[in-house]
Every structure is written in C-alpha cells, then in structure tokens.
Amino acid sequence: MFGVFSYFDKAVRGTEREDMLVILQFFKGMIGQQFSFLNYYKEIPVSYNATLLSVENEMAEFAVHEYQAKVITMEKQALIYSHAKSPFPEDLIGEAFYVSSVKKRVILCNFGYAHIRSGLRRFVRVLLDEPIDAELQLEYDFLKGDIKDISLGGAAISVMSIEHLVPGLDINLLMRLPGLAGNAKFEVVMSATIIKVVGEAAPYICVIEFHAEKHSQQQIAYYINHRQVEIIKQLKDVNV
C-alpha cells in the first residue's frame, strides 16, 4: 500500500518461463500435499494451509480456506511459503486464474519464485478505514497529518508538506486515537524518528518509528488489538 511496504521480492533462477515449468513439475509430484498460503487484508496477514488438488494446463488447483479465497480474489495473487519437500529454497507466487470462496477453490497460474519479506516484520501492522489525526512537532513548527496505518513500532502518516522532514530526524508526535465503544478520542504523546518520506507530490507518506514509553505502548496496543478484531470481522462479512 502507498508503494511504501512490500511483502515480497521476486526472484528469477533461469528465465521466468523456465522457472514456471520447474515449479509446475514440482507441483505434479506434490498432489494431495498441503502448502501454506499468505495474503494480506488491510495489512493483517491471512495464512491458512491449502491442499494441492491437481496440476494441468500449466495451472494448479488448490482447496483453500474461505478467508484465503476472499483475499486472493482481491489481491489477484497468492504467496506460498517454501515447502519442506521443495528442491528450491525460495517461496512461490502465483496469479489467480479462478477463485471461489463459496467452493473454497483456487486455480493459480504464472508461477514464479519469491522471497517473502513480511515475515521480517517485528510488529503487526493494521490499515485504518478512517485516518487518525496526528501532529508532528518539529523544532520550529507543527505539521498536521493523517495516520494511514499503525503498528506498535511506528506508523505511516499522510502529510501535505515535507519541507522539514528529514530521515533520521527526531520529533515529538501527538496522536488522537479513536475511543472504543463510542468513547471520545484520547491523546497519545511520544517521541519518534523519521525513517523515510515517500512521494513525488502531496500528499506524501512519512514513515516514522515510535519511541513510546510503557503507558503509550499499552494504549497503542489496545487500539491495534481492537482494530485487528474489526478487520477480521470485516473479512468474514466480505462478499466476493
């Protein structure tokens, strides 16, 4: 999202065509075996086991969890963790050719190698339906922004100006987290460091790392846990 975070890096061993044929040959010997799929819904990982049913016409059909099928429908692809019996160390990626959450079936094609990066995340990140108000306190100025996603370790903030935003700069941050069950918003104040700024024109995305003391961490963690529950409920109710 926002072109800031990437879940994986593509990898090529031979040509893309050669790689796909090698992967399909591997799959042909793995029919009936389970593979671990990975997709993301609003930054929450969705990962269930899927059973390989058949391989034909350069496509592979899997029986998948209903939630996995829903997210594959949205992302148009699926990541597959490297299997213990795989002759190659890389993870895999396949494009969606057919998906049915009702039948819990997925047919993937155009396979390639990938290195899943998102497993390196130290914290669960959640995407927000409604942005959180934030103020960045710089040395001589305040800059208003909207938090688009947040984790215990940091956030991505949409800002209209990057004039004084330099990677490595320490700032003070004020966030107004939504109150739960209709309660009023509550303020969280902490120090933070700017990690990077992304974008060619406004609105820009400023990625920051939190330096929160224990009480602020608890407040953020409580909000993130609540948001995770919301997202999972939204996925359950999605009709695709």
CATH of the domain at 199: 2.40.10.220
Instruction: Count Cβ atoms within 10 A of the Cβ of residue 29 and give its class: 0-12 exposed, 13-18 middle, 19 or more buried.
Output: exposed
Q: What is the pLDDT of residue 123?
A: 77
The CATH number for 50's domain is 2.30.110.10
Query: Are 134 and 114 found together in one domain?
Result: no
210 in any annotated domain: yes
Whether 183 and 203 have beta carbons less than 8 Å apart is answered as no
How far is Cα 31 from Cα 51, in angstroms, rounded to an integer?
A: 8
Q: Is residue 94 part of a domain?
A: yes
Beta strands in 19-169 (DSSP E): 34-41, 44-46, 49-56, 59-63, 77-80, 91-100, 105-116, 125-137, 142-151, 154-159
Give a yes or no: residue 76 inside a domain.
yes
Give the pTM.
0.81
Regarding whether 55 and 115 lie in a shared domain, the answer is yes
Do both 32 and 132 map to the same domain? Answer: no
Phi, psi of 123 (to 5 degrees): -135, 150
For residues 139 and 155, state if they share a domain: yes
Given 120, 153, 169, the domain boundary residue is: 120
Same structural domain, 136 and 214: yes
Q: Identity (one letter) of the amino acid at 18?
A: E
Residue 235's φ and ψ, nearest 5 degrees, are -65, -40
Examine the domain organization and report whether 188 and 227 are in the same domain: yes
Q: Which of 120, 135, 168 is the last residue of a domain?
A: 120
| pLDDT value, residue 1 | 35
pLDDT at 149: 92
1 lies in some domain: no
Same domain, residue pair 141 and 112 = no
40 and 108 belong to one structural domain: yes
Residues 71 and 163 in one domain: no
Task: Based on the fold, state whether residues 144 and 219 are members of the same structural domain.
Answer: yes
Positions in the chain short of pLDDT 70: 1-6, 118-122, 180-183
**CA pair distance 214, 71, nearest whole angstrom:** 35
Look at residues 120, 140, 170 and tell me which one is the last residue of a structural domain.
120
Query: Domain tally for the chain?
Result: 2
Domain region containing 97: 8-120
Q: Say what the pLDDT of residue 3 is.
A: 36
Convert the pLDDT of each residue in 140-197 to its tens digit.
788 999 999 999 999 999 999 988 899 999 999 999 988 766 667 788 999 999 999 9
